[in-house]
Amino acid sequence: MNIKRLTDLDVAGKRVFIRADLNVPQDDNLAITDDTRIRAALPGIKYALDKGAAVMVTSHLGRPTEGDFKPEDSLAPVAKRMSELLGQEVRLVQNWVDGGFDVKPGQVVMLENSRCNKGEKKANDELSQKMAALCDVWVHDAFGTAHRAEATTYGMGKYAKIACAGPCVASELEALTKALAQPARPLVAIVGGSKVSTKVTVLESLAAKVDQLVVGGGIANTFLLAAGKKIGKSLAEHDLVDQAKAVMAKVKVPLPTDVVVAKEFSATAPATIKSIDDVADDDMILDIGPNSAKALADIIAQAGTVVWNGPVGVFEMDAFAQGTKTLADAIVHSKAFSLAGGGDTVSAINTFGIQDKVGYISTAGGAFLEFLEGKKLPAVEILEQRANG
């Protein structure tokens, strides 16, 4: 992938505008409850500062109404936390689109919530040009927003003197390309989750690329239906059985041979291991069984690349977590390059404490899925277009 990288540029004395992903969770008092995204943005900011750039950084936060700024929309808590982590002041600048604020080389300012500006979401051309005029170098370092064509994530890239990728985006694209464009074979994809409908295009796209496609959760139940198996009162989408059959016609989809069932969706419900052929009409499938989990582990052990998006059971409940835990353990012990992404997947990784043992963990949600679907991400597209100019 041909893109410019921030780390390849001489930014001494330049005004560098970094679009980061600082959309952190906050409690009712607006206190930050997890600063992971702020920490992830620091390498790009520190690089620019250390090279003598004057740094501006912005992000969206929450879902503000454009042109209607409210106190709860403010990046003030983020600026305060970033000041603590950087060990230097990060001044918050309001109403920044027209300029009029000062930032010197070695300094960094936080520009207020980007989505409060009218025209941001639709990448308004006039707004994008005004923003681009603020800087010498525009840096996209928010992969989680790469699928959105907004003024700060895409529009600025058209008009800035130089457009480049920050360390977060560069490493994410490198990992995704390694896993999907140039994978070591066999390539195994694991797609879990509750509904086929939310991931049908991902499944169809992966079916054409992978050597084996493992499905889990409610998605597996729909595939079991398609294979003529009984699933009791388990979550499934009967109207998508034909799509499941079409996917199975393109690629090998190993289905569970045994499952963990309960009579109700509850952490206290008695869990029973059954053959898939013995599932009763009032059973709910909430996890794969030990034989299926071992077969999955064997597949992963032979893989060259593993892409993981979604658990294979209700891992949040101890009685139905073993299948996903076995999968996680298999990935840890595999020699394959592993790429994991999606909110539930990251939660499972954190639950089982394997954060440092997965090849690459993508914290992006929509952008990660759209990349798996084979879609062109607007932010990546503009970076490629501007690579030589």
- pLDDT digits (tens), the chain, 389 positions: 799 999 999 999 999 999 999 999 999 999 999 998 999 999 999 999 999 999 999 999 999 999 999 999 999 999 999 999 999 999 999 999 999 999 999 999 999 999 999 999 999 999 999 999 999 999 999 999 999 999 999 999 999 999 999 999 999 999 999 998 889 999 999 999 888 888 989 999 999 999 999 999 999 999 999 999 999 999 999 999 999 999 999 999 999 999 999 999 999 999 999 999 999 999 999 999 999 999 999 999 999 999 999 999 999 999 999 999 999 999 999 999 999 998 889 999 999 999 999 999 997 888 988 998 888 999 999 999 999 87
Of the candidates 249, 210, 208, the one whose C-alpha atom is nearest the C-alpha of residue 227 is: 249
> Are 195 and 292 part of one and the same domain?
yes
Asked, for residue 320, whether it belongs to a domain, the answer is yes
> Are 118 and 220 part of one and the same domain?
no
> Are 27 and 75 part of one and the same domain?
yes
CB environment 140-172: b (16+ within 10 A), e (fewer): bbbbbbbbbbbbbbbbbbbbbebbbbbbbbbbb
C-beta of residue 203 within 8 angstroms of C-beta of residue 220: no
Which contacts qualify for 348-357: CB closer than 8 Å, 24 or more apart?
A: 348/311, 348/315, 348/324, 351/315, 351/316, 351/321, 352/324, 352/325, 352/328, 354/328, 357/331, 357/332
- CATH (domain of 90): 3.40.50.1260
* Residues spanned by the domain of 342: 183-372
Name the residue type at position 78: V
Which class for 63: exposed (0-12), middle (13-18), buried (19 or more C-beta within 10 A)? exposed
> Are 86 and 233 part of one and the same domain?
no
> Are 226 and 322 part of one and the same domain?
yes
> Are 194 and 161 part of one and the same domain?
no
> Are 163 and 188 part of one and the same domain?
no
> Are 144 and 256 part of one and the same domain?
no
> Are 153 and 47 part of one and the same domain?
yes
Asked, for residue 368, whether it belongs to a domain, the answer is yes
E-state strands within 142-203 = 162-165, 187-191
Query: What's the pTM?
Result: 0.86
E-state strands within the chain = 15-20, 54-58, 90-93, 108-111, 137-141, 162-165, 187-191, 212-215, 258-262, 272-275, 284-288, 305-309, 337-341, 360-362
158, two tokens: 């058209």
Among residues 167, 191, 223, the one where a domain terminates is: 167
> Are 104 and 128 part of one and the same domain?
yes
Catalytic residues: 37, 195, 343, 366
> Are 111 and 216 part of one and the same domain?
no
199, two tokens: 């991931």
Q: What are phi and psi of 286, to 5 degrees?
A: -120, -5
Asked, for residue 35, whether it belongs to a domain, the answer is yes
C-beta of residue 57 within 8 angstroms of C-beta of residue 20: yes
Q: What is the number of domains present in the chain?
A: 2
> Are 282 and 153 part of one and the same domain?
no
141, two tokens: 């370092």
Cis peptide before 186 (omega within 30 of 0): yes
